[in-house]
């Protein structure tokens, strides 16, 4: 959403959106280069539109408004998690703990909902934000590998979740007709609150990334952590903030999910970190950091959700095919990205 | 200031100067290398003193049988991590290998085993090709088969758990030799073989060289791409073998749950065992000890009536501690 706007508004010869560290190859881009760049940046949106249009013709049930509501509400929780993951990955890091934090946030929210709306929202945010902060501190101040730190908090958060629920035996329910339940189940014009919240968050995330110095710093840190340090940017503080944000968003998504389901389910979120990473990668954000977009992640999440929905529509395919197709997509996208990036650099 | 003037950082072990035993205890590198053995010894000592029925042959047999598949997968993972890679797809590879078993057992045990191991080799070859030929980051390259591999296994098995009745295959899981279960023998022999591979063969030295500094290895004329593909293929085959053994022990092929979170257990074992995540060194014995430490720790907590969740939190703390120790050394 933030990506396409400036291109239509500003008649600048070159889209100014490209994040830091793209060497000026020359004053004029060749048509091929520009096509390659556009494909790399908005290819997912093209694929998503193609899939949606084709599916609407083949499966009349797919094109219904009800189905659109179902798909988007399912996607909204992953979208919120993937938003935080995008920022983390842009800084060159990774957050494997989000699935566990998502589940933990849901259980905490469901438990706290007996004490009112505010408690149900604040408790998961405080605890999950705290886990994110811990990740950030260990990674930025402790100088430890993000992969392994967040792997440890993945285990730790699930352990915490299990000990809170008597090894998963207790399920906390959200009181009926509570304000917190309404947060997950209510809707505006038929679209559930989680969808709207996700959209608002993506809008805000896009603005932060493109229009604030914090956003610029994210790209700079991901481009080269050392260079960013030399430039005097607050590298450690940025990293800490970004992991805290990721924890907060994962906790919020978990709380929304609990509100929607009216209970804190303990078995959710397993493997969610990898779904989120897939969505981010499919959306064109590079795992090496320094380049990426929030809008791409949104299309990536929607593409995964549409694939899942289509496989459900095709009765003869069981749900196992979903992961096969997602895995296949992932390979195609990352290999294509790789070659597009290579062709851009070589010319 | 130009970058060219700076010598490339090396990850090889620092030269070990002769030091007094006391000074050595203050050396973080010493902990990274031997900490895991100390920790295993401490856990064993604790159990000898405070846990009933722990230091018994029966208990050790149980613990070893449970840890054997993790050790087998972690051996392959250690090689991959040695090249500065990581393989997230091992759990899915286990499930895929298990899914092939019931399909081919009708032709006999050997064809089924061969097909199953081949599946692991193919997964590894795809991972290796994506990493070396396409140049993808290992996390991304193996993520695709992590996602897709289990789906493929489920598709092949129609999403169903299948009972295994072949007595030869089952004896692989339940049989024992000289009082030691077969799976433990297999894991032990493989550990020795991988240690030999790393320390005594050209391929082993190439793995360490590629992980230490890939461009230097390429400039030195090492077959970097072949080494990378070989390492991922080995990792895939070992994961497939672990899948076969686990299936034989469970007496059923269960593609939906077999091997879930195995990538995490294996990475944990490798890292706790002292292999640095940024490659350039492979600690085979440390990896075995790392897997054992996690297993013994969990068993200890469970025997003291602490819930599994506490064990999980303890595991998280140990990983952090292990990496913290590794960090001290790297930053010097």
Question: What integer is the mean pLDDT of A15-37?
Answer: 54
Closest CB from A148, A161, A338 relative to B277: A148
A216-275 pLDDT tens trace: 999 999 888 888 888 888 889 999 999 999 999 999 999 999 988 888 887 787 778 888
Scanning B59-98 for CB atoms below 8 A from A yields: 86, 88
For B269, nearest residue in chain A (alpha carbons) = A148
Contact B324 A338 (CB under 8 A): no
B92-103 pLDDT tens trace: 999 999 999 888
Question: What integer is the mean pLDDT of B164-188?
Answer: 85
Please check the confidence at residue B328 and state whether its pLDDT lies above 70. Answer: no
Question: What integer is the mean pLDDT of A10-14?
Answer: 39
Q: Which is higher by pLDDT, B195 or A317? A: B195
Question: What integer is the mean pLDDT of B97-114?
Answer: 88
Closest CB from B134, B139, B149 relative to A335: B134
Among B130, B144, B319, most A C-beta atoms within 10 A, so best to mutate, is: B144
pLDDT bracket for residue B185 (50, 70, 90)? very high
For B154, nearest residue in chain A (alpha carbons) = A320
For A318, nearest residue in chain B (alpha carbons) = B155
Question: What integer is the mean pLDDT of A104-133?
Answer: 91
Closest CB from A138, A143, A281 relative to B320: A138
| Mean pLDDT lowest among A115-129, A132-146, B23-37, B239-253 | B23-37
B26-74 pLDDT tens trace: 666 777 778 888 888 888 998 888 888 888 888 888 889 999 999 999 9
Closest CB from A145, A161, A320 relative to B159: A320
pLDDT, position A8: 36
Q: Over chain B, what is the mean pLDDT?
A: 84
Please check the confidence at residue B115 and state whether its pLDDT lies above 90. Answer: yes
Q: Over chain A, what is the mean pLDDT?
A: 82
pLDDT, position A317: 67
pLDDT, position A23: 44
The answer, yes or no, to whether ipTM is higher than 0.85 is no
pLDDT, position B193: 94
pLDDT, position A207: 92
pLDDT, position B23: 67
pLDDT, position B326: 67
pLDDT bracket for residue A334 (50, 70, 90)? confident
Q: What is the 3-state secondary structure (H, E, C) of chain B?
A: CCHHHCCCCCCCCCCCCCCCHHHHHCCHHHHHHHHHHHHHHHHHHHHHHHCCCCCCHHHHHHHHHHHHHHHHHHHHHHHHHHCCCCCCCHHHHHHHHHHHHHHHHHHCHHHHHHHHHHHHHHHHHHHHHHHHHHCCCHHHHHHHHHHHHHHHHHHHCCCCCEECCCHHHHHHHHCEECCEEHHHHHHHHHHHHHHHHHHHCHHHHHHHHHHHCHHHHHHCCCCHHHHHHHHHHHHHHHHHHHHHHHHHHHCEECCCCCCCCHHHHHHHHHHHCCCCCCCCCCCHHHHHHHHHHHHHHHHHHHHCCCCHHHHHHHHHHHHHHHHHHHHHHHCC
pLDDT, position A4: 38
């Amino acid at each position: 959403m933030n990506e396409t706007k400036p291109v239509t508004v500003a008649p600048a010869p070159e889209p100014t959106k490209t994040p830091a560290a793209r060497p000026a190859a020359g004053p004029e881009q060749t048509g091929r280069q520009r096509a390659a760049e556009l494909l790399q940046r908005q290819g997912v949106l093209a694929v998503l539109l193609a899939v949606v249009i084709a599916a609407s013709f083949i499966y009349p049930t797919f094109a219904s408004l009800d189905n659109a509501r179902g798909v988007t509400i399912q996607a909204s929780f992953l979208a919120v998690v993937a938003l935080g993951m995008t920022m983390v990955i842009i800084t060159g890091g990774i957050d494997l703990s989000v699935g566990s934090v998502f589940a933990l946030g849901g259980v905490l929210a469901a438990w706290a909902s007996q004490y009112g709306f505010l408690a149900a929202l604040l408790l998961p945010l405080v605890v999950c934000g705290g886990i994110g902060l811990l990740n950030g501190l260990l990674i930025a101040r402790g100088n430890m590998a993000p992969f392994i730190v967040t792997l440890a908090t993945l285990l730790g958060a699930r352990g915490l979740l299990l000990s809170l629920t008597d090894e998963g035996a207790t399920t906390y329910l959200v009181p009926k007709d509570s304000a917190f339940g309404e947060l997950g189940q209510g809707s505006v014009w038929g679209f559930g609150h989680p969808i709207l919240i996700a959209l608002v968050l993506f809008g805000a995330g896009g603005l932060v990334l493109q229009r604030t110095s914090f956003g610029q710093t994210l790209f700079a840190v991901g481009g080269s952590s050392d260079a960013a340090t030399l430039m005097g940017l607050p590298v450690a503080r940025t990293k800490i903030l970004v992991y805290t944000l990721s924890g907060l968003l994962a906790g919020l998504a978990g709380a929304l999910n609990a509100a929607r389901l009216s209970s804190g389910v303990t078995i959710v979120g397993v493997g969610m970190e990898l779904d989120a990473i897939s969505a981010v990668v499919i959306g064109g954000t590079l795992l090496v950091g320094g380049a990426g977009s929030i809008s791409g992640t949104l299309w990536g999440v929607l593409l995964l959700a549409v694939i899942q929905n289509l496989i459900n529509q095709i009765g003869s395919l069981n749900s196992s095919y979903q992961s096969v197709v997602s895995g296949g997509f992932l390979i195609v996208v990352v290999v294509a990205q790789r070659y597009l990036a290579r062709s851009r650099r070589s010319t | 200031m130009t970058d060219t003037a700076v010598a490339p950082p090396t990850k090889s072990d620092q030269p070990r100067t002769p030091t007094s035993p006391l000074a050595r205890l203050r050396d973080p590198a010493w902990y990274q290398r031997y900490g895991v053995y100390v920790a295993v010894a401490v856990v064993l000592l604790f159990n000898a003193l405070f846990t009933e029925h722990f230091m018994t042959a029966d208990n050790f047999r149980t613990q070893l049988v449970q840890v054997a598949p993790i050790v087998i997968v972690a051996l392959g993972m250690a090689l991959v991590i040695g090249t500065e890679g990581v393989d997230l797809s091992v759990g899915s590879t286990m499930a895929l290998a298990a899914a092939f078993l019931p399909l081919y057992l009708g032709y006999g045990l050997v064809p089924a085993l061969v097909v199953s191991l081949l599946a692991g080799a193919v997964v590894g070859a795809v991972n290796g090709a994506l990493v070396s030929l396409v140049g993808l980051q290992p996390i991304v390259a193996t993520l695709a088969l992590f996602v897709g591999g289990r789906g493929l296994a489920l598709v092949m098995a129609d999403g169903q758990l299948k009972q295994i009745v072949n007595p030869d295959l089952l004896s692989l899981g339940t049989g024992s030799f000289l009082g030691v279960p077969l799976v433990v023998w297999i894991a032990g022999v493989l550990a020795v073989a991988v240690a030999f591979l790393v320390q005594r063969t050209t391929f082993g030295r190439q793995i360490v060289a590629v992980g230490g500094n890939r461009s230097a290895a390429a400039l030195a004329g090492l077959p970097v791409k072949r080494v990378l593909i070989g390492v991922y293929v080995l990792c895939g085959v070992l994961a497939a073998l672990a899948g076969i053994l686990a299936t034989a022990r469970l007496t059923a092929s269960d593609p939906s749950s077999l091997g879930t979170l195995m990538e995490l257990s294996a990475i944990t074992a490798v890292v706790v065992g002292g292999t640095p995540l940024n490659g350039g060194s492979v600690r085979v014995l440390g990896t075995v000890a790392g897997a054992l430490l996690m297993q013994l720790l969990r068993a200890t907590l469970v025997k003291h009536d602490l819930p599994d969740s506490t064990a999980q939190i303890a595991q998280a703390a140990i990983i952090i501690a292990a990496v913290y120790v590794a960090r001290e050394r790297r930053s010097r």
